[in-house]
Amino acid sequence: MANIRCRCGNVFSDGRTPSPHEMTIVPDVRIEGLSNAILDAIKREGDLEAEIPFLLATAGPTAYKCPRCGRLLVFEDGIDKPYKSYLAET
């Protein structure tokens, strides 16, 4: 995905790596499995610089914070599906 259109009308790019707008929401039920996968990679002496960022980035839904309005755009069903947006009430 190159450009993301927020409900406020702002269009911003996620092309930069690491992106200042992108985050991964890690569900609590996945933390132990994620931790174990990281420990396994360390024990195997794998390519940690590649494996650990991949494990973290794929541990849960991707979300973006709109730099204009602060809405959180959550892609719960995958990056190619519509997002749900959340706006702070206060």
Interface positions with Zn ion (CB under 5 A): 6, 8, 10, 66, 68-69, 71
Nearer to Zn ion, 3 or 28 (CB): 3
Angle between helices 28-44 and 48-57 (to 10 degrees): 170
Task: Provide the total of helices (H) and of strands (E) in the chain, helices listed first.
Answer: 2, 6
Min dist CB 66 to Zn ion, Å, is 3
CA 69 to the chain's CA centroid = 18
Nearer to Zn ion, 37 or 64 (CB): 64
Min dist CB 73 to Zn ion, Å, is 8
